[in-house]
Amino acid sequence: MKSLLAKCFAGTALLAAYVGFVDATYLTVSQYLNGTPPCSFALGCETVLTSVYAQVLGIPVSLIGAVYYVALVLLVLAHLDRGSRRVLAFAGALSVSGLFASLWFIYLQAFVLTSYCAYCLVSAASTALTCAFIGLAWHMQRDLEARFTSLNLRAALAQPQK
């Protein structure tokens, strides 16, 4: 049961990372084609997306985000395929770094730019969900491995010595 739950958590992290990828890719394509995408339910998208904080070394932050989400999707898929806790731990570390970046960008929107970008907030939510569900999957898998090791040790000790 726990194995299935760990896979569900990883699958949910995969879905959240995919949503983030779609969001970041839409922003990137819109910025390259049209300038700024339309933003109807949050005022300030244009302010945020045209600010000095929207690029790092001339590269749109949304493009960096799209690459980040592709990396997360590939890592979670690799984990689901192989069941490797090491791959999941790397995905977790990457998602935590993304979470810190998202918190930084939310701070900039709230206190420096005093404007919010709905697309950026969707990306931050995707990162937070991805990070949380990768953490839950990692925790569940760690518990499973500990119990499996414990059971193997008990079975080995229960066998009569020759």
pLDDT tens per residue across all 162 residues of the chain: 457 888 899 999 999 999 999 999 999 999 888 777 877 666 788 889 989 999 999 999 999 999 999 999 999 999 999 988 899 999 999 999 999 999 999 999 999 999 999 999 999 999 999 999 999 998 888 776 666 565 555 555 455 555
Question: Could you give the 3-state DSSP secondary structure of residue 37?
Answer: coil
Residue 121 has a pLDDT of: 94
pLDDT computed for residue 1 by the predictor = 45
As a whole number of Å, the CA-based R_g of the chain is 20
pLDDT value at residue 145? 63
Pairing of strands 55-56, 59-60: antiparallel
Q: What is the pTM of this model?
A: 0.86
Nearest Cα to 7, choosing from 92, 77, 98, 89? 77
Task: State the Cα–Cα distance between residues 126 and 129, nearest whole angstrom.
Answer: 5
Structure tokens at 132: 């949380």
Nearest to 50 by CA among 70, 63, 31: 31
Per DSSP, the chain holds a count of helices (H) and strands (E) of 5, 2
Taking Cα atoms as reference points, which of 149, 98, 106, 85 lies closest to residue 127?
98
Domain 2-158 sits in CATH at 1.20.1440.130
